[in-house]
């Protein structure tokens, strides 16, 4: 049997909700500060001492760097160095190049990923990126640490195979600033700590104002779609939220912030405070597309220090994929960055995390072709939801069996819609038919529909995987480029979108042929609206999603034919309806109130008619 009126309404609601979902950094790195040459004789020791807050003096030889931290040479912070020194920490996943200018990361390369055109992915390119904070350099004078050249130690390989490096500023009075970085093996997370000796004089009000700037380069082939998937993410007071990049904006935080992150479509740069940032403000700008930059983000984070001269600030930096399984291991709620559900459909993230992702990962471990993984995942989903589909078609069959009696009621009441509605409800109740039997099963499939929409857009495992003519299942498949752009469609032709649309159209046509009531011209053409919407909306979406819908529609059509032709017994349905009529009708209180209300409205209308005649 086909779709009844309520089933059609369900599909229209799905379409309406889907439409709602779709329609819902001056480069300034100073590069010419230099290192003061070391004082070559001891005469300087007899000269008047320079204010330690204004300068940090050079007092120890360079070759003592690797011996001990307190033997590192000191540097005047107001002086400049002639040469920039670069050092590298690396594991099998990350390569981070550090500069002694500011003792900060300069370049970050993800070694296991490439851009859409085969180039290395650089999450920080040194042009805009900055990790810096203000220190006191004189009376009423402050300087950003990014403008000061630190002295770097040699890289150290630790017993656990992690690599560490330190950067130091220090004077003869014992005041010092140390930046220490550790990169563990097989990790995208970098441990970063700032140690201050003389913190009460080096910073004001026992507060470090951390400046974090990061530039997000284009990685995927469609910069507009990648920008749509880019978020400014944060964990404020242990509660996760995010902002769309849009065309640029800013946000301020008055509560404690655990971490801030910039998530583009599949990659993340994040700054984490183990003891929370006291307050923070983030501003992001969106350059023109020709620069191939998604966004430029600047964050100012205030870190409260304990009262006293000595302070240590533990932080972390994350440069890596937006992968739920990887981020979950950090135990800081960063797995929320992966957008497996948001807004009114935030609840579907639990379907993705605890059902779809485990099933997908299991299939991926045993099957080489990602396209076949999606095929089998689709088959599994349709198999699980087939009882819902069966109930929907069974309800349609019952409604069709009652069509002759419904027609007679229409003739009997004519324009009296109130009377027709009352008798129709009584008929359904006596026959044991629920008017929502076809609508509710369709509505129950919306969470599955939306969970898959989020899943295939956010799963990095699909990135770079090819299947049939699609070269990247995480992007649209293009079989032809158009010389112009069509509104609501685009400038290319996606074949998987066409196959998804055609299979959806076939389902609609088949459903119309078995529909119990196609006399209403509006209802007659309503099922065709959703397939047409798919053509425009899905053309720019990942081919994994449109391949899924192609397979899903095909399986649905086959199940629909099998259920209606070979499983549903129409004679038994008629016999069951007749048997239900013999049983005493038990009405719920809600139904009793509805009937009473309808009867009351009917009497009021009759009285009005009599009053009008008089």
pLDDT tens across 95-121, in order? 999 999 999 999 999 999 999 988 999
- 175 versus 574: the higher-pLDDT residue is 175
Mean pLDDT in residue range 197-224: 91
- The residues near 587 (Cβ < 8 Å, ≥ 6 apart) are 429, 595
Local confidence band at 505 (pLDDT 50, 70, 90 cut-offs): confident
Question: What is residue 53's predicted lDDT score, i.e. its pLDDT?
Answer: 34
Per-chain mean pLDDT for the chain? 79
**CA 382/CA 390 separation, integer angstroms:** 11
In the predicted model, what is the mean pLDDT of residues 16-42? 42
Kindly state the percentage of the chain with pLDDT values over 70.
73
Q: What is the pLDDT of residue 243?
A: 94
Give the pLDDT of residue 567: 73
Does pLDDT of 278 surpass 90?
yes
pLDDT at 563: 77
pLDDT (average), residues 160-167: 94
Q: What is the pLDDT of residue 442?
A: 67
How much is the average pLDDT of 56-72?
A: 35
Choose the weakest-confidence range: 370-374, 379-383, 505-509, 518-522: 518-522
Q: Mean of the pLDDT values across residues 523-543? A: 79
The tens digit of pLDDT for each residue in 403-423 reads: 777 777 777 777 777 777 777
Query: Residue 550: is its pLDDT beyond 70?
Result: yes
Task: Please report the pLDDT score of residue 518 as a whole number.
Answer: 53
Given a contact cutoff of 8 angstroms between Cβ atoms, the answer to whether 23 and 538 are in contact is no
DSSP 345: G
Torsion sign over Cα 389, 393, 398, 400: positive
Q: Are residues 315 and 194 in contact, defined by beta-carbon separation less than 8 angstroms?
A: yes
* Distance separating the N- and C-terminal Cα atoms of the chain: 50
Burial class, 174, CB count within 10 angstroms (exposed 0-12 / middle 13-18 / buried 19+): exposed
pTM of the model: 0.76
Which contacts qualify for 431-435: CB closer than 8 Å, 24 or more apart?
431/398, 431/402, 431/577, 431/580, 431/581, 432/576, 432/577, 432/580, 432/583, 433/395, 433/398, 433/399, 433/402, 433/577, 434/395, 435/6
pLDDT at 463 > cutoff 50: yes
CA distance 474 to 477: 9
Between 58 and 428, the higher pLDDT residue: 428
Q: Range with the lowest mean pLDDT among 122-131, 354-363, 408-417, 600-609?
A: 600-609
With 60 as the cut, is the pLDDT of residue 288 above it? yes
Which residues, including other chains, have CB under 8 Å from residue 69's CB and lie 6 or more apart? 153, 166, 168, 178
For residue 90, pLDDT over 90 is answered with yes
- The top-scoring range by mean pLDDT among 22-26, 125-129, 259-263 is 259-263
pLDDT at 6 > cutoff 50: no
Distance between CA atoms of residues 572 and 568, nearest Å: 8
The pLDDT confidence band at residue 26, using thresholds 50, 70 and 90, is: very low
Q: At 598, is the pLDDT very low, low, confident or very high (cuts 50, 70, 90)?
A: low
pLDDT at position 194: 95
Q: Across residues 296-323, what is the average pLDDT?
A: 93
Report the pLDDT value the prediction gives residue 212, as an integer from 0 to 100: 95
Residues present in the chain in total? 614
pLDDT value at position 371?
93
557 within 8 A of 469, measured Cβ to Cβ: no
Q: What is the CA radius of gyration of the chain?
A: 33
What span, in angstroms and rounded, lies between the C-alpha atoms of 147 and 153? Answer: 19
pLDDT at residue 71 tops 90: no
Higher pLDDT, 548 or 386: 548
Lowest mean per-residue pLDDT among 7-16, 264-273, 353-362, 454-463: 7-16
Mean pLDDT of 319-323: 95
Q: What is the pLDDT of residue 139?
A: 76
d(CA 602, CA 598): 6
Q: Which of 65-79, 187-201, 473-487 has the highest mean pLDDT?
A: 187-201
- Residue from 451, 432, 449, 322 nearest 388 by CA: 449
Q: Is the pLDDT of residue 258 over 60?
A: yes
Give the Cα separation of 602 and 416 in Å (integer).
9
SS3 state at 482? strand
Cβ–Cβ < 8 Å for 104, 131: yes
* Average pLDDT, integer, range 227-239: 94
Cα(98)–Cα(181) distance, rounded to whole angstroms? Answer: 10
pLDDT band with cut points at 50, 70 and 90 for residue 248: very high
């Amino acid at each position: 049997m086909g779709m009844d009126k309520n089933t059609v309404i369900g599909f229209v609601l799905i379409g309406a909700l889907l439409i709602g979902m779709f329609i819902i950094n001056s480069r300034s790195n100073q590069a010419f500060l230099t290192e003061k040459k070391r004082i070559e004789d001891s005469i300087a020791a007899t000269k008047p001492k320079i204010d330690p807050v204004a300068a940090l003096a050079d007092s120890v030889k360079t070759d003592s760097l690797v011996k001990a931290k307190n033997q590192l040479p000191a540097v005047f912070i107001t002086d400049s160095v002639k040469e920039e020194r670069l050092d590298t920490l690396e594991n099998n996943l990350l390569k981070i190049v550090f500069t002694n200018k500011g003792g900060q990361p300069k370049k970050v390369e993800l070694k296991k990923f490439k851009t859409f055109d085969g180039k290395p992915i650089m999450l920080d390119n040194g042009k805009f990126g900055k990790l810096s904070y203000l220190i006191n350099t004189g009376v009423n004078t402050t300087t950003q640490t990014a403008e000061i050249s630190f002295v770097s130690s040699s890289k150290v390989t630790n017993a656990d195979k992690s690599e560490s490096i330190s950067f130091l500023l220090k004077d003869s009075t014992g005041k010092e600033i140390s930046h220490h970085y550790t990169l563990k093996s097989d990790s995208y997370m970098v441990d970063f700590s700032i140690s201050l000796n003389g913190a009460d004089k080096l910073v004001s009000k026992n507060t470090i104002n951390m400046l974090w700037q990061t530039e997000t380069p284009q990685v995927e082939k469609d910069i507009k779609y990648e920008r749509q998937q880019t978020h400014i993410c944060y964990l404020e007071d242990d509660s996760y939220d995010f902002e769309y990049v849009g065309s640029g904006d800013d946000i301020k935080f008055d509560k404690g912030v655990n971490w801030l992150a910039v998530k583009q479509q599949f990659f993340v740069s994040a700054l984490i405070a183990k003891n929370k940032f006291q307050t923070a403000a983030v501003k992001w700008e969106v350059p023109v597309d020709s620069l191939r930059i998604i966004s430029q983000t600047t964050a100012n984070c205030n870190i409260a220090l304990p009262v006293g001269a000595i302070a240590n600030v533990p932080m972390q930096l994350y440069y890596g994929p937006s992968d739920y399984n990887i981020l979950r291991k950090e135990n800081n709620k960063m797995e929320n960055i992966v957008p497996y559900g948001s807004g009114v459909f935030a609840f579907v993230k639990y379907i993705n995390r605890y059902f779809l992702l485990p099933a997908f990962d299991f299939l991926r471990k045993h099957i080489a072709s990602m396209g076949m993984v999606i095929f089998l995942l689709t088959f599994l989903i349709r198999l699980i939801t087939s009882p819902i589909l069966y109930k929907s078609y069974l309800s349609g069959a019952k409604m069709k069996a009652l069509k002759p009696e419904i027609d007679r009621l229409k003739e009997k009441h004519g324009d009296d819609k109130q009377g027709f509605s009352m008798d129709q409800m009584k008929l359904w109740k006596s026959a044991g038919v629920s008017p929502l039997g076809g609508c509710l099963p369709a509505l129950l499939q919306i969470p599955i529909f939306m969970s898959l929409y989020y899943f295939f857009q956010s799963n990095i495992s699909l990135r770079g995987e090819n299947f049939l003519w699609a070269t990247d299942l995480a992007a649209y498949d293009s079989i032809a480029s158009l010389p112009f752009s069509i509104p609501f469609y685009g400038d290319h032709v996606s074949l998987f979108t066409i196959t998804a649309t055609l299979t959806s159209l076939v389902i609609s046509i088949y459903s119309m042929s078995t529909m119990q009531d196609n006399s209403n011209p509006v209802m007659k053409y309503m099922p065709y609206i959703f397939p047409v919407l798919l053509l425009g909306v899905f053309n720019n979406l990942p081919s994994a999603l449109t391949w899924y819908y192609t397979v899903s529609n095909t399986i649905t059509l086959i199940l629909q034919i099998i259920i209606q032709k070979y499983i549903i017994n129409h004679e038994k349905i008629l016999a069951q309806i007749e048997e239900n009529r013999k049983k005493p009708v038990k009405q719920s209180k809600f139904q009793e109130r509805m009937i009473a209300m309808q009867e009351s409205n009917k009497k009021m209308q009759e009285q009005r008619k009599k009053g009008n005649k008089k």
